[in-house]
Chains A and B, each alone.
Chain A
């Protein structure tokens, strides 16, 4: 038995300094494309190449709605010149621009995770949050199997028809106040599976969503950021780049 103790000490501290300091290790995030100014002759092919419609044209610039990105890299690989790509990971945001979650969510929260048609990757990244690298317990986040004890419902997957009923039951079983977090491109926007005869177009079709974390899958740090946004300890990210001027353009925020 002593071997376990010795090896545990020998392994040292692996836990990331995030959120106190940014994480600099390589390979912690797949990154996301960014919008902005692109050569005029590139714009049309860029918009056409994206299978999920991340890019659109707005005011002479390319606008990237990264909630739709499924990391297919068709806009960077095998194409010249590649689109700009940022290795960020703070992707958690708030739907409808709601920033105030109120006091019940300021400290420790319990999270109930529901798989509503996930491919396994988002779920695996949620599992990584419990490993020593991310250790979300230190920040007061706990996973609970029971919806009765949960404050936040974390949903992964585009919500298949067969899971819709179970998902609603879990939501109804949670005590109020409660919040819903959609994690992954599928949960946020339908992703690669989009809307079909067996699948909804994300969690918002079924439940009121409060926090969104895009990415296919979002890396553990992005999910951590989403949780920190949910408890009001981090500011929500802008998921449309460059950020649109909502009032001037007559857009709604969700």
Chain B
């Protein structure tokens, strides 16, 4: 759908209720202001009929009114559409859009928990980020009047807390798993409801690791918050740091040097390659294929060492700065890192060939944890998981950033939506990543290999000013969106992270249901979910 068509549709359907300004240039959002009554239908049409992807709900508490921002993006020239709804602070009830946009389910639950907003028509609010057994009612931590330094620390968890049981068949019971449940795993709780062999219903209970990054960021400088953006989900640190930097740079109108952009692409792809190798290792491990686990483990560690040798840090910390990069990387070192990555890639390809003919391995992946394309769309799944279910969406292609439009690469896609399709996507994407890295190294010109203060990789000091912007990056696990608002003194007024795992955890329960217990770890590993990323 083109921008002009969209504007015409909106003006015709909701005259007087929805105000749609003219679409600006590509990349800048079109802010559609909407009356509360028209909100669910407008969002529903954008999402279901006009094929816009739902990014997230961003709640902002102004001086006198709420501003709810529903962010969508399309593939055509309509680009970003922000649907805005405002209301005085005293009015805390909004219509829920979940009926039409199921992907907004968890966004509304989060806003209910953290801001105390009520979404009329939402089927299930409560016990989400703030666990019911640990927080008393009425705490609204993201409100301005909530003091993060205030003593909230001596809450006694209720040992008798029990989750609601939903399956009511004779013999049904709940199998609680977690938060500490296996060897080396992230903390998450699963309530698996069953009558015997198969999981009938699964409810993940997340946010055991909630560190309230968004609250901690408020009132800090962009430089300080970058530390949090890199560290809240460190296996994809560079992608999240980049999304944050891009948001700040857009507010400040910074002009990023071409060399810094190319190096950012190179590093982002190195991270994707490493993260995918790690995900492949996890899948091999979950099927108890020890030799393949060892092989993939070697390749992951090889890539960690490549990252460490090139940048000093194995997880690419401390490289980004708003305006460019904190230091320059020598062209020769990048070339060496590329050569080593190519070697790793050829071994990954060989590993894939061997896995493809290992029937005991395939038996455990094929037709396991199926997510059909329609469901993936309704849940707004992102990244490799969506691409394994027939949704060809990639921000690097659809909404290019950091110069991705200059690179040649394919977006792999599979239709089956099962565990094996997700594994094939991971392997295919590693090939594309190396392909992009090759082009990035070929495009590296000049550069100040000698001086750490090179102007080649850093824009002149940024002029921080009041404003807000969305930064987006196709992180290894899918689209990562960082909304940043700066106040007049250049400090962070609102920071909202919409990580890919937040959407993918939402859809995870679908893959698990109607499958046997022993497949559970395999489905978990093929989804490559990060709890740290989701919990923030």
Q: A residues bordering B, Cβ < 8 Å?
A: 1, 3-4, 7-8, 11, 14, 25-31, 51, 70-74, 77-80, 82, 113-121, 123-128, 130-134, 143-145, 147, 157-158, 160-166, 170, 191-193, 196-200, 216-217, 219
For the complex, give the distance between the alpha carbons of A114 and B188 in Å. Answer: 11
Q: B186 to chain A: which residues have CB within 8 Å?
A: 115, 118, 120, 123
B35 at the interface (CB under 8 A from A): no
Q: A74 to chain B: which residues have CB within 8 Å?
A: 318, 326
For this complex, 28 residue pairs linking A to B, each with C-beta atoms less than 8 Å apart, are A8-B291, A14-B298, A26-B309, A27-B304, A27-B305, A27-B309, A28-B308, A70-B317, A71-B318, A77-B452, A78-B326, A78-B453, A115-B531, A118-B209, A119-B232, A119-B233, A119-B234, A120-B530, A123-B184, A124-B278, A128-B297, A157-B209, A166-B208, A170-B180, A197-B141, A197-B148, A197-B153, A217-B234
A72 adjacent to B227 (CB under 8 Å): yes
For the complex, give the distance between the alpha carbons of A186 and B167 in Å. Answer: 40
For the complex, give the distance between the alpha carbons of A107 and B304 in Å. Answer: 30
Which residue on chain A has the smallest CB distance to residue B313?
A30
Q: B305 to chain A: which residues have CB within 8 Å?
A: 25-28
* Given A73-B317, A198-B210, residue A128 in contact with residue B301 (CB < 8 A): yes
Q: A166 to chain B: which residues have CB within 8 Å?
A: 179-180, 187, 208
Given A77-B327, A116-B187, 14 extra CB contacts under 8 A: A14-B298, A31-B312, A70-B317, A71-B318, A78-B321, A78-B327, A78-B458, A120-B531, A161-B153, A162-B131, A162-B210, A196-B148, A196-B215, A217-B314
Of the residues B179, B182, B317, contact of A216 by C-beta under 8 Å: B317
B149 at the interface (CB under 8 A from A): yes
B212 at the interface (CB under 8 A from A): yes
Q: A70 to chain B: which residues have CB within 8 Å?
A: 227, 231, 317
The A-B contact count (CB < 8 A) is 206
Q: B216 to chain A: which residues have CB within 8 Å?
A: 193, 196
B123 at the interface (CB under 8 A from A): no
Tell me the dominant secondary structure on chain B's binding face.
Answer: loop
For the complex, give the distance between the alpha carbons of A192 and B212 in Å. Answer: 12
Tell me the dominant secondary structure on chain A's binding face.
Answer: loop
Of the residues B155, B235, B310, contact of A120 by C-beta under 8 Å: B235
User: A166 to chain B: closest CB distance in Å?
Assistant: 5
For the complex, give the distance between the alpha carbons of A70 and B75 in Å. Answer: 39
Q: B354 to chain A: which residues have CB within 8 Å?
A: 3-4, 7
Which B residues from 167 to 201 make CB contacts under 8 A with A? 179-187
Which B residues from 521 to 535 make CB contacts under 8 A with A? 530-533
Which residue on chain A has the smallest CB distance to residue B291?
A4
B211 at the interface (CB under 8 A from A): yes
Q: By CB atoms of chain B within 10 A, which of A77, A147, A162 has the most? A: A162
B239 at the interface (CB under 8 A from A): no
For the complex, give the distance between the alpha carbons of A128 and B233 in Å. Answer: 18
For the complex, give the distance between the alpha carbons of A72 and B224 in Å. Answer: 10
A131 adjacent to B227 (CB under 8 Å): no
User: B52 to chain A: closest CB distance in Å?
Assistant: 31
Contact with A along B205-235 (1 / 0, CB 8 A): 0011111110110000000100110011111
Which residue on chain B has the smallest CB distance to residue A85?
B312
A30 adjacent to B314 (CB under 8 Å): yes
Q: B residues bordering A, Cβ < 8 Å?
A: 131, 134, 141, 148-150, 152-153, 155, 157, 179-187, 207-213, 215-216, 224, 227-228, 231-235, 237, 278, 281, 291-292, 294-295, 297-298, 300-301, 304-310, 312-315, 317-319, 321, 326-327, 350, 354, 357-358, 452-453, 458, 530-533
A145 adjacent to B179 (CB under 8 Å): no
Q: B183 to chain A: which residues have CB within 8 Å?
A: 113, 143-145
Of the residues B134, B234, B308, B313, contact of A161 by C-beta under 8 Å: B134
Q: B318 to chain A: which residues have CB within 8 Å?
A: 71-74, 77
A133 adjacent to B301 (CB under 8 Å): yes
Q: B227 to chain A: which residues have CB within 8 Å?
A: 51, 70, 72, 192
Which residue on chain B has the smallest CB distance to residue A127?
B184
A72 adjacent to B211 (CB under 8 Å): no
User: A102 to chain B: closest CB distance in Å?
Assistant: 26
User: B318 to chain A: closest CB distance in Å?
Assistant: 3
Which residue on chain A has the smallest CB distance to residue B289?
A4
Q: A163 to chain B: which residues have CB within 8 Å?
A: 179, 187, 208-209
* Given A114-B180, A198-B211, residue A132 in contact with residue B297 (CB < 8 A): yes
B298 adjacent to A192 (CB under 8 Å): no
User: A165 to chain B: closest CB distance in Å?
Assistant: 4
User: A103 to chain B: closest CB distance in Å?
Assistant: 27
Q: B184 to chain A: which residues have CB within 8 Å?
A: 113, 123, 126-127, 143
For the complex, give the distance between the alpha carbons of A111 and B141 in Å. Answer: 36
User: B306 to chain A: closest CB distance in Å?
Assistant: 6
A131 adjacent to B297 (CB under 8 Å): yes
Of the residues B150, B180, B212, B291, contact of A199 by C-beta under 8 Å: B212
* Given A78-B326, A115-B209, residue A120 in contact with residue B304 (CB < 8 A): no
Q: A121 to chain B: which residues have CB within 8 Å?
A: 234-235, 237, 315
For the complex, give the distance between the alpha carbons of A197 and B204 in Å. Answer: 24
Q: A191 to chain B: which residues have CB within 8 Å?
A: 231
A73 adjacent to B326 (CB under 8 Å): yes
Q: A8 to chain B: which residues have CB within 8 Å?
A: 291, 294-295
User: B383 to chain A: closest CB distance in Å?
Assistant: 16
B317 adjacent to A71 (CB under 8 Å): yes
Q: A1 to chain B: which residues have CB within 8 Å?
A: 358
Q: B294 to chain A: which residues have CB within 8 Å?
A: 8, 131-132
